[in-house]
Amino acid sequence: MSAAVAQLTDPDALTSPFALTKNYYRDVYPAVNPTNSKNSAKGKSVLITGGGRGIGLGITLSWAKAGASTIIITGRTMTFLESAIEEIRKISPSTKALAFPCNVTDPTAVQSLFAKTKSEIGHLDVLICNVGGISHAEADLKIGEKSPKDFFYDIDINLKSDYLCIHHYLNAFGFVNNPTPPTGTIISVSTATAGFVLPGLSSYGIAKLAAVRLMEFLELEYPTIRGFSVAPGTVLTDNLATYLHRFALDTMELAGGWTTYLASEQGDYLKGDWVSVNWDAVEMEEHKEEIVGKQLLKSGFLNVTPRPGGYPWGEL
């Protein structure tokens, strides 16, 4: 993977080939700007895992700009969380800002996190599962080369963490076995890698694709939940592989703005879908009926549809 990418010179080489819309963006623009009144988060509470640094921090600060009533961030390093809390308060002094240290791959810790959240604020409107990553990102380790320990670390940090947070959110806030469940929004930070088979990225790709399917199951099983998978683009973060740095022109503010957009009514037609922050939200809205009707943004299984009587070889 890294060797092939090293041959590319266009900084948009990992963005423009994967465009759904004619226009694509690499920075925040009016439709997804958190200061746009349509994306207002006034009266909303949000919990962002990994919200103290990197893309997570960009999401956190976007919710502050959108005027969220409560922002809860989690992470494993308190210094990052404390710094983020200070930034939230500078942007939006009226926002209640809380930092809860948590390892989101630890079932007991995650259960405690949502119990504490319930105790503190009573209701949580939005959950953003941002934690993720890949071990030895520079190494391009193939199956058989990557240790089982590292392989399953990637599964845990990208898939198990999402499931644990979603599970305990649903249980803590009254969605499970409730004939009249509340409403809520869950956003999983994804990647375009979920849709490709690339050498050296098996653990990451498998975990991220499974997380996309998890959101599709969530839409089916909990109709009052608005669930989305969002690819944040190529953002220059501390853990981004060096060979990707020259392509990392996407801002974390773009990803953050998209989360406020999706949490508004504007995103209803994208429930259960995978979206890229590089796509033009306005153009997508113009074609929402086609997106929904053809299930353009749902994941697939095979490039063929098995049918009674078998596949009509050579006829299609």
Q: How confident is the model at residue 146 (pLDDT cuts 50, 70, 90)?
A: very high
Residues 6+ apart with CB under 8 A from 167: 110
Prediction pTM value:
0.96
Least confident range from 109-113, 135-139, 227-231: namely 135-139
13-47: pLDDT as tens digits = 989 999 999 999 999 999 999 999 999 999 999 99
For every residue of 163-205, DSSP letters joined together read HHHHHHHHHHTT-TT-SS---EEEEEE--GGGG---TT-HHHH
Mean pLDDT rounded to a whole number for the chain = 96
Q: How confident is the model at residue 239 (pLDDT cuts 50, 70, 90)?
A: confident
Q: Is 94 exposed, middle or buried (0-12, 13-18, 19+ CB in 10 A)?
A: exposed
Rounded distance between C-alpha atoms, residue 125 and residue 123, angstroms: 6
Output the pLDDT for position 3. Answer: 67
Rounded distance between C-alpha atoms, residue 283 and residue 291, angstroms: 11
In the chain, the amino acid numbered 88 is I
Q: How confident is the model at residue 254 (pLDDT cuts 50, 70, 90)?
A: very high
Rounded distance between C-alpha atoms, residue 210 and residue 237, angstroms: 24
Output the pLDDT for position 1. Answer: 61
Q: What is the CATH number of domain 2-293?
A: 3.40.50.720
Output the pLDDT for position 92. Answer: 99
Check residue 74 and report its DSSP letter. E
